[in-house]
Amino acid sequence: MDEPVDSKTVDPSSVDRFPKQKAFNLGDVVTDAAKILTEEERTKLEEQNKRLVTPFQALKLEQEARKHWDLFYKRNENRFFKDRHWTTREFSELLAGEDPTAAASSSPLAKSDNVEKISVEKKLLEIGCGVGNLIFPLIEDGHRDYFIYACDLSPRAVELVRKHNLYDERYMKAFACDITTEEVFQTLPEASLDIVTLIFVLSAIHPEKFQSTVANIFRLLKPGGVVLFRDYGLYDMAQLRFKPGHKIAENFYMRQDGTRSYYFAEEEVSKLFCQTGFTVMVNSYIHRRTVNPKENIDVPRIFVQGKFRKSERT
């Protein structure tokens, strides 16, 4: 059953367009409706337009995107992002074919060190793997029956993945590449993957390269393959907090460290994948409150979450 929608925070005129993601957290509102801005929030967005990132600076940010992410991981290493133990709860495709009762024995970590190669049929690619906050929890929990590929724009992030104590090239391979180009096809052939994860990654890419990125993913997937997507939603708290001088283009911003972030409308994401040839399985906003009473934190967050399938007949 759909979660009730608070008419004070989302647009009541919105009509459901696609099946919606199930709510997995108490208090989540899952909807196709964008947040309705207060007057104060509208004023904050208008203030951002008073001083924009210059075209020269915007071009430099694009040209130096790899450098900024390398510096990010040099400064933070594996201390910034938390491990994503929630992915198997919200994306059941990551559990496909797994017998939970046999997870411990079927995990590659439980097999003999004398085994040179572990045979798996399915293949997963995590785009924007960072330091492995998605793939290593999967391995720790035994929730995998596929060979894992992991790529990132930052060579430093990939090196940190390779140094992880769970990294083992018998069942995984990490490599650096720019997913907006055809560089990925130097490592992976077309129609070779069953699942691609795109979680808080597309937002870091220039909007002009969204289409080429999704087109590359389409080429990488087998017929019937699935993209698991989550990213920042329109009018998320983080978007409203940007001050003048950080806005690059509509819904696209520069952070203090030179990395960038885009904030997606739900309909925009669906259109992007549909135009590339995907079928929308589910897609919706998730309005969530991040609450930590001990630290006096109560933060409203907005994500767009979806699943997109490549046709079996492709």
What is the tens place of the pLDDT at every residue in 74-113?
Answer: 886 555 455 566 787 788 888 755 433 333 333 333 333 4
Predicted model pTM: 0.83
Give the tens place of pLDDT for each residue, 251-303: 999 999 899 999 999 999 999 999 999 999 999 999 987 776 777 767 789 99
Q: What is the mean pLDDT of residues 208-237?
A: 97
Domains of the chain, CATH where assigned? 29-94+120-310 (3.40.50.150)
Greatest pairwise CA separation for the chain in angstroms:
65
pLDDT of 116-175, one tens digit each?
444 557 899 999 998 888 888 888 887 668 899 999 999 999 999 999 999 999 889 999
pLDDT score, position 59: 96
| pLDDT tens readout for residues 6-50 | 334 444 334 456 666 666 665 678 888 899 999 999 999 999 999
Contact 233, 263 (CB under 8 A): yes
DSSP codes of every residue in the chain: -PPPP-TTTB-TT----SPPPPP-STT-EEESPPBPPPHHHHHHHHHHTTSBPPHHHHHHHHHTHHHHHHHHHHHHTTSSSPP-TTHHHH-GGGGTT--GGGHHHHSGGGS-TT-------EEEEEES-TTTTTHHHHHHHT---EEEEEEES-HHHHHHHHTSTT--TTTEEEEE--TTTGGGGGTS-TT-EEEEEEES-GGGS-GGGHHHHHHHHHHHEEEEEEEEEEEEBTT-HHHHTPPTT-EEETTEEE-TTS-EEE-B-HHHHHHHHHHHTEEEEEEEEEEEEEEEGGGTEEEEEEEEEEEEEE-TT-
pLDDT value at residue 45: 96
Reported as a single tens digit per residue, the pLDDT across 58-82 is 999 999 998 988 887 788 655 545 5
Predicted confidence at residue 9, as pLDDT, reads 45
